[in-house]
Chain A
Amino acid sequence: MTIERIIPVGAHARLVEVADTRAAVSLALWARERGVQATEIVPGAATVLFDGLTAVTDLPDALAGWRPDAPPARGRVVVVAVAYDGPDLAAVADLWGVSSAEVVRRHTSVEFTSAFCGFAPGFAYLAGLPPEWAVPRLDQPRPRVEPGSVGLADAWCGVYPTASPGGWRLLGRTEAPLWDLARDEPALLPPGARVRFEALP
């Protein structure tokens, strides 16, 4: 089974359930490349929403050629340079039972994939952290998280494009412009982008 279920969402939208985050990114990229006629193709953690479909009944056929094990349409690799001096670095080290240096080593060793955006323009949920490294969100979200803050929540990694309240555990900060309307592609980490973090000296 490649597509687990196609759920109607009103007259012009369908929510397609797939096995996992990897499959969701793969299907969303595949459908976009194939030109599936929808106003929005929105990957989620294990779904893809097709909104504004011109022909909802054609969707199953349109997606029939997709295979989750097909070589994924891989985005470019984006390297994000981080100063690992975040307020929660030590807490994450405690949760993992390792040193802060080991947290940095682990975080810079993973190749993440931008799975989906949400919360704010350009805020990407980055998948790739092993589930056993999942960390709980802060009990009390911070009223203000600085732009460029790199954090973890559950097994997700994220970088705040703008200042906002937030409950993610912050490892450090980057100067990389996450959201820039002057660019053709305003989001630095659109769904499908591969992301590596690099420690600034």
Chain B
Amino acid sequence: MSLEVLDAGALTTIQDLGRFGHAHLGVPRAGALDAPAAALANRLVGNGRAAAVLETTLSGLTVRTHRARTIAVTGATCEVTVDGRAMAHSEPISVRAGATVELGHASAGVRSYLAVAGGIDVRPVLGSRSTDTLAWVGPARVQDGVWLPVGTPEGAPAPLDVGVRRTAGRHLRIAPGPRADWINDSAWRDLDHAAYTVGADSNRVGLRLQGPPLHRARTGELASEGIVLGAVQLPPSGQLVVFLHDHPVTGGYPVIGLVDPDDLAICAQLRPGERVELRVQSSSGRGAGPSAGSSTG
């Protein structure tokens, strides 16, 4: 079975849970940016959680299935049609052999996920089928006209098991990061409820937050060090970057904060120009302030 890509849209990539254990060689983790949405798509079609799905970026995607299969579209809100007929978002859809499946432009959010029963079965690279857009490890970005192999379905399609997760709020919870002391306490207080605009240059590497520049409390340079997913980096420009799945594995700008792992899916769906507020959490998860009692060595 294969999926013929008729129109790949602006940027469609293959994603699974990501590529682990190679960060020390300079290989980013990659993986679906809105992981809960990708997991839901897989559940709806009866796939295991590690199956690879297609991730779109704002614009749509048109494919043709060469066998009858169950599919599902989750993540960013978009019109879903099969042979021109409107279908439900976030529900299993049975499609006949030769059907044309079209995902329209995202009307809310950025990244939609298309899962096909059996999963996208390209050859794994270093243990993963994910495309990393920083260094382009993994399968090439999806192009018009390619045929993507699809695996054998494993399980029965699931009925809708959780409600459609849509975040009502537009805020990101941020806790102090390893270099929280590179900004002072008053800057930390200002961060709480600070409003930012999502930068147009946001991508799978990072969500760029435009707003009043943050000033460093110390000068000098930080030697390059390992970076985690969700790290909030403060470059010399003072404009914060939230590192997403294709982030560089090491970096030399201080990581002042960490976005709550549960809010990374929000980061994946914030559109350029949208507003987002930060909510400062303490390391222990309660209240504001970075360093109650901890030293700033």
The one of B26, B224, B228 in contact with A44, judged by C-beta atoms closer than 8 angstroms, is: B224
B226, A51: Cβ atoms closer than 8 Å: yes
B258, A10: Cβ atoms closer than 8 Å: yes
B20, A41: Cβ atoms closer than 8 Å: no
Interface flags, A111-131, vs B, CB<8A=1, else 0: 000001111111111000000
Interface flags, A186-200, vs B, CB<8A=1, else 0: 110011000000000
Interfacial chain A residues near B227, Cβ < 8 Å: 49
Complex Cα distance, B126 from A118, in Å, reads 17
| A64 interface hit (Cβ, 8 Å) | no
Chain B interface size, under 10 / 10 to 19 / 20 to 34 / 35 or more = 20 to 34
Interface-central residue, B20, B24, B230, B255, by most chain A CB under 10 Å: B24
A75 to chain B, nearest CB (A): 12
**Stretch among B40-48, B243-251, B269-277 lining the A interface:** B243-251
Identify the closest chain B residue to A189 (Cβ). B25
| B9 interface hit (Cβ, 8 Å) | no
A48, B135: Cβ atoms closer than 8 Å: no
B228, A51: Cβ atoms closer than 8 Å: yes
Number of interface residues of A (CB under 8 A): 38
**Which residues 142-201 of A sit at the B interface, judged by CB distance below 8 A?**
162, 181, 186-187, 190-191
Interfacial chain B residues near A191, Cβ < 8 Å: 24
B176 to chain A, nearest CB (A): 9
A40, B24: Cβ atoms closer than 8 Å: yes
B225, A10: Cβ atoms closer than 8 Å: no
Interfacial chain A residues near B169, Cβ < 8 Å: none
Interfacial chain A residues near B178, Cβ < 8 Å: 7-9, 15
| A46 interface hit (Cβ, 8 Å) | yes
B21, A186: Cβ atoms closer than 8 Å: no
The one of A8, A39, A123 in contact with B283, judged by C-beta atoms closer than 8 angstroms, is: A8
Question: Contacts A118-B248, A119-B248 given: A9-B228 contact, CB under 8 Å?
Answer: yes
A52, B20: Cβ atoms closer than 8 Å: yes
| B261 interface hit (Cβ, 8 Å) | yes
Complex Cα distance, B125 from A5, in Å, reads 36
A42, B249: Cβ atoms closer than 8 Å: yes
The one of A44, A120, A186 in contact with B226, judged by C-beta atoms closer than 8 angstroms, is: A44
| B280 interface hit (Cβ, 8 Å) | no
| B297 interface hit (Cβ, 8 Å) | yes
Interfacial chain B residues near A26, Cβ < 8 Å: none
Question: Contacts A121-B27, A181-B126 given: A116-B228 contact, CB under 8 Å?
Answer: no
**Which residues 48-99 of A sit at the B interface, judged by CB distance below 8 A?**
48-49, 51-52
| A100 interface hit (Cβ, 8 Å) | no
| B177 interface hit (Cβ, 8 Å) | yes
| A23 interface hit (Cβ, 8 Å) | no
B223, A49: Cβ atoms closer than 8 Å: no
| B137 interface hit (Cβ, 8 Å) | yes
Interface flags, B1-36, vs A, CB<8A=1, else 0: 000000000000000000011111111000000000
| B207 interface hit (Cβ, 8 Å) | no
| B175 interface hit (Cβ, 8 Å) | yes
Interface flags, B228-239, vs A, CB<8A=1, else 0: 101100000000
| 14 A-B pairs whose Cβ atoms sit less than 8 Å apart in the complex | A9-B228, A11-B261, A13-B228, A42-B24, A42-B249, A47-B225, A51-B226, A116-B24, A116-B224, A117-B24, A162-B135, A181-B126, A186-B126, A187-B26
Q: Which 8 A-B pairs have the closest CB atoms?
A: A49-B226, A45-B223, A42-B226, A44-B225, A118-B250, A117-B26, A40-B23, A47-B225
Apart from A41-B24, A119-B250, what are 16 other A-B pairs with CB-CB below 8 Å? A9-B228, A10-B175, A11-B261, A15-B225, A40-B226, A44-B225, A44-B226, A49-B226, A117-B249, A117-B250, A119-B26, A121-B25, A121-B26, A122-B25, A123-B26, A186-B25
